Structure 1
């Protein structure tokens, strides 16, 4: 397995080039999957308050046998905890549930523009970073306009913007917007959330050309775009395979083919999503 270089952030820190997602995984399944992922070599674990599995993720990190300093744990502020004081309280609940003394990356999960609290929430995250209880701070599902408002009103640019991104929803404009602002793009749902992406003829052909699984081909596509994907899998073998994307390179033509599949959003629209 060829090691992938870490991805530099605008705050001087780095992220692993690929992480493990825990959306819609709960209870002991979440703990087992995270322990297994860490054993396979993942060092970036992504959770959120709204996933309801922070306690299990934290327990898995603590019992994995992997030194805490080698693991980067991400969580996200839920909508009910938006606002300055509420965000500080929400963070404390997440940290307590995880059983950690600090978070490596903390994100605002959705902008929820109708509430108009994301700037106040961002000020709270910046304070947490300044206090040293969070290493890096960022956002999730933010548009370019949302990012620009944060910077204009606080002077602080997010390190990360985690967005829905896969060959079925390439987000070219948003990737460019993040890059122009020095923000690293993370990808949630990188394998298309089981909606048939990995079964398409184009993905299968690219994978076959390199003797890899369709998932590995798609994750390599993300990597070559400079995106940090966060795949999830309940299968231990696939978890190991998904991490191994360093031994082959997609051609420019293959990248183009995967980037021109029919496009559709599978999740919420950041301009209208509320919770």
Structure 2
């Protein structure tokens, strides 16, 4: 399954997404996500934190994201998404699958671009809904005012450091600050409105990532990316492409 706001980077995206299902114990696979040109700086950092460059055939937490994923059909028919959740239905499904003894596989090569163009209120409401859902999935978990301030400052400062390394701090300083505030204040309100949570899973959702900036070609892919700017060109149009008029 794929969100309406995504598009694949490589033509073998679906093939690679389905590859792990050769293992009958794999219930769900999900792939790497990266932001578009207009994606918020902090969201780029979230994508890099949640979706690393290396694949994992059997991950230890139920984290996954249905914006770029596939589910074994027989298990989906047995246990569809909980539509009563305000968000994170993919996480709830992954939790169920692991509790039943199935595996979740992460495929870094099955990469998509996820286009988010949200207002600040949209960011706030997205994280508020996810906070509400997280509380329902893990009823004994808490997110205190102290957590709000601590995680806001930690993540904001980490983003400022990375922006400075990229020469973008002046441009993105306030965008980073606003995004992280709406993210964590929304999460805080979501927890207020609504099992023991593993430390590693809480880290995956809220704690600062290990900053890294992979260079072009470091993923080792020999497959050329899809050239979306060329898909609409008419092959009979002599003015299209690099040939032009002779």
TM-score, structure 2 normalization: 0.30
- Structure with the larger RCO, 1 or 2 (CA within 8 Å, 6+ apart): 2
Q: Work out which of the two has the higher radius of gyration on C-alpha atoms and give 1 or 2.
A: 2
